[in-house]
Structure 1
Amino acid sequence: MAKALFHKHQRVYVAPVGTWAIVEHVKPHWVKDVEEPVRIYYDCGLGRDFTTHELASEQVETVDGENWRVLRARNKWQSMEECSRHPFPGTFPVVVTDPKDWGGWRVPAAEYDRDPNRIEAQARLITRSPGLLELAEQLVQLASDDTELPDSVSALARRAGELVREISTKPSPAP
């Protein structure tokens, strides 16, 4: 018996053609008096139907965001009076993604001094991005499980799926 490994609107790599495509239709092949389909074919809009072994899904990297946080680094190059207009005078944000308080995102002091509120907002966004990614993945999963969603929610789920795919697709190696 066969089970569908890919679903409609999923992006897959089609090995015989050597390109990425979207599954347009999942076509089960039924036999009389059998409860499950014998084979599953996938229509990817490329002129013929493909079997499961001819397709591959995208490799998804997971992001561990438990340790992502904003630390305050001391501003060594400016006195407290020179940076009194900053949201946190005398410091600037450093986003760390490692339990040992290193690795992550830092900003040059000159850039922080130019627009400290924008940099503070970026730091907050970066630290919350793993949670936002998890939320987007859950929305995509909800849409794939429930086909009776309103069009507006389905559109959001498609957009979330595109974002998750962009984030989690590994770049191809340089030639």
Structure 2
Amino acid sequence: MAGRISLSGRIVNRAFSLFKQCYENKCVRGRSQDAIVATCIYIACRQEGAQRTIKEICAISTTASKKDIGRCFKQIVQNLPNSNRPESIDIKNLVPRFCNTLELRQANLIPKTAVHIAERAKELCDIQSRAPDSIAGASIYMACAAAGERKQMKDIQAAAGVMESTIRQIYKIMLPKASELFPSDFVFKCPPENLPQS
């Protein structure tokens, strides 16, 4: 599974070790082997700082759903206190990866601006409960629009692996505060009041 997304040997070894601990401690009884393997890879990625979303892990698993991995994740983290708690996913790591996929003309400006937008939006907008990959998608969309980089919502959806409707919802929540979300030195090609309404 790890080979499908070219994960390093360190991550694979950590996932093996976690998998072994799960079986020795019998903490994931009743879960499918596919879900356990996928979850161990997910946790190993987070512990090693190689941020991957649950959706990305679902894509390499043959049968485990997002829900299966989520439930398995809770079980493992609760039952293996010595497995140091995985780092939460950081938008700073997701945005550049998603932007690389988009092949942007302004390859330095957009990721930097999108990360800034996401961090400010978490302070100013009611999006704290939203998934990091969805926030990253909405922030990239806003940064592209303001910088005059023509990217369709469906392109960003494909890069972030998030539903277009979800990105649109978060973008709409962020839009009223748009003028406060950008870095102070940002040069707008499209001013905040003219940004797309959806």
> TM-score when scaled to structure 1?
0.25
Pick the structure with more strand per residue: 1
> TM-score when scaled to structure 2?
0.23
